[in-house]
């Protein structure tokens, strides 16, 4: 395979990032973050989760966020084309609430690990797929696009090693149900490049590379190396999080997603287009880190701000 010419970035900081913040984050801060992300040229921003507020309190304002976006309150002032604002919907309740807010793209999220599935969404892998089926069916009927996630593709906090065949099986089911893309999550950031490449090769026997995305966390500092390995296999969609925000509430010790600024710097260095303005994104990363009172998790963001 060869490196792609263009990569689509799916910015997950406002969801995957903020869902794990221990300090409360106001709805207006979230909307400001989302607006700034769109302004930097990101065409796909995951904005909220329609999950139980008891499970993930930080996402409890999903309705307010999505209604505000629908009504244009956080509309980008400079973005060239409309940004897609997607949300997580684990079940019909989540989907119905999201549809009421005018959401046009949702994601279902499964796992390659039985234990993680139980801890994260309170059901087995098989039960989760059964729950997703009507969600998919209803979403597709109403013209809403559905993305699929598989968690723990390179390791699980409860089970350790996960066989690539397990990942491939869940990815195949999600695609068969109608997900337009399946995002492969190294939820706890334990992967290394050759492992990532082998896992992808196995999944790619079931799902075309053009329908796969890499969603890597950076707990062990391997995320960029892992991305390089899967880019070489032809992956052209990368999930990342501004300032490396995040972690996972059901994966103790997991750090944030790979920082979007770091991914952009890598891609720019390889001559791969993204359509995103790195300098603008670095300013947003600096702003949200200061606002949350946390260190900026992007090395590139830190370097750019220091030289500003």
Residues that bind ligand HMG (CB under 6 A): 16, 19, 49-52, 55-56, 88, 90-91, 93-94, 109, 120-122, 149, 151, 185, 187, 215, 248-250
Do 47 and 70 contact (CB within 8 A), yes or no? no
Q: Based on the shown chain and the rule CB under 5 A, indicate whether residue 186 belongs to the binding site for Mg ion.
A: no
Q: How far is the CB of 290 from ligand HMG (least distance, A)?
A: 24
Nearer to Mg ion, 76 or 257 (CB): 257
What does residue 170 show for φ and ψ, rounded to 5 degrees?
-70, -40
Q: Which of residues 76-135 bind Mg ion (CB under 5 A)?
A: none
Report how far residue 261's alpha carbon sits from residue 81's, in angstroms, rounded to the nearest whole number: 21
Residues 231-270 contacting Mg ion, CB under 5 A: none
Backbone angles phi, psi at 273, to 5 degrees: -80, 145
- The minimum distance between CB 77 and ligand HMG, in angstroms, equals 29
Q: Which is nearer to ligand HMG, 179 or 304 (CB)?
A: 179
Helices 114-121 and 125-141 pack at an angle, to 10 degrees, of: 60
Beta-bridged to residue 215, according to DSSP, are: 185, 239
Minimum CB separation from Mg ion for residue 5, in Å? Answer: 26
Contact region with Mg ion (CB under 5 A), list: 16-24, 117-125, 126-134, 281-289: 16-24
Residues in the chain: 308
Chosen from ligand HMG, Mg ion, none, partner binding at 149 (C-beta under 5 to 8 Å by type): ligand HMG
Distance between CA atoms of 159 and 59, rounded to whole angstroms? 27
* CB nearer to ligand HMG: pick between 123 and 209: 123
Q: Does 11 bind Mg ion (CB under 5 A)?
A: no
Give the Cα separation of 212 and 133 in Å (integer). Answer: 20
Residue of 101, 152, 156, 248 with catalytic role:
248
Which residue, 16 or 286, is less far from Mg ion as judged by CB?
A: 16
- Using a 10 angstrom Cβ sphere, with 0-12 exposed, 13-18 middle and 19 or more buried, the burial of residue 209 is middle
Residue with Cβ nearer ligand HMG (121 or 144): 121
For Mg ion, which residue of 16, 39, 46, 181 counts as binding (CB under 5 A)?
16
216 binds, among ligand HMG, Mg ion, none (CB under 5 to 8 A by kind): none
- Window of 13-21, 126-134, 201-209, 279-287 that interacts with Mg ion by CB under 5 A: 13-21
The string of DSSP letters for 80-139 reads SSPPEEEEE--SHHHHHHHHHTT--EEEEEEES-HHHHHHHHSS-HHHHHHHHHHHHHHH
Residue 56 interacts with which of Mg ion, ligand HMG, none, CB < 5 to 8 Å by class: ligand HMG
- Three-class SS of residue 301? helix
Concerning whether 248 is annotated as a catalytic residue, the answer is yes
Bridge partners of 88? Answer: 49, 107
Positions in the binding site for Mg ion (CB under 5 A)? 16
Q: Looking at the annotation, which residues are catalytic?
A: 248
């Amino acid at each position: 395979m060869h490196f792609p010419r263009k990569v689509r970035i799916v910015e997950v900081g406002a969801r995957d990032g903020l869902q794990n913040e221990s300090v409360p984050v106001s709805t207006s801060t979230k909307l400001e973050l989302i607006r700034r992300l769109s302004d930097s040229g990101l065409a796909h921003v995951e904005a909220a989760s329609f999950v139980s507020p008891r499970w993930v309190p930080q996402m409890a304002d999903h309705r307010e966020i999505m209604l505000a976006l629908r009504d244009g309150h956080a509309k980008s002032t400079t973005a060239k084309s409309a940004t897609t604002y997607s949300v997580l919907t684990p079940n019909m309740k989540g989907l119905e609430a999201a549809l009421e807010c005018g959401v046009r793209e949702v994601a279902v999220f499964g796992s390659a690990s039985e234990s993680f599935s139980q801890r994260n969404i309170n059901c087995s892998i098989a039960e989760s797929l059964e729950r997703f089926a009507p969600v998919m069916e209803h979403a597709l009927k109403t013209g809403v696009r559905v993305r699929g996630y598989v968690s723990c593709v390179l390791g699980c906090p409860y089970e350790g090693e996960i066989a690539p065949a397990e990942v491939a099986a869940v990815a195949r089911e999600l695609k068969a149900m109608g997900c337009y893309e399946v995002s492969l999550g190294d939820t706890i950031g334990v992967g290394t490049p050759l492992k990532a490449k082998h896992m992808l090769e196995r999944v790619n026997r079931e799902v075309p590379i053009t329908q796969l995305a890499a969603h890597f966390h950076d707990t062990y500092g391997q995320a960029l190396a892992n991305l390089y390995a899967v880019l070489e296999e032809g992956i052209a969609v990368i999930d990342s999080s501004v300032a490396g925000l995040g972690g996972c509430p059901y994966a103790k010790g997991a750090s944030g997603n790979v920082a979007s600024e770091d991914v952009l710097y890598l891609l720019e260095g390889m001559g791969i287009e993204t359509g995103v303005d790195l300098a603008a994104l670095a300013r947003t990363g600096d702003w949200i880190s200061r606002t949350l009172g946390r260190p900026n998790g992007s090395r590139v963001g830190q370097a750019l701000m220091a030289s500003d």
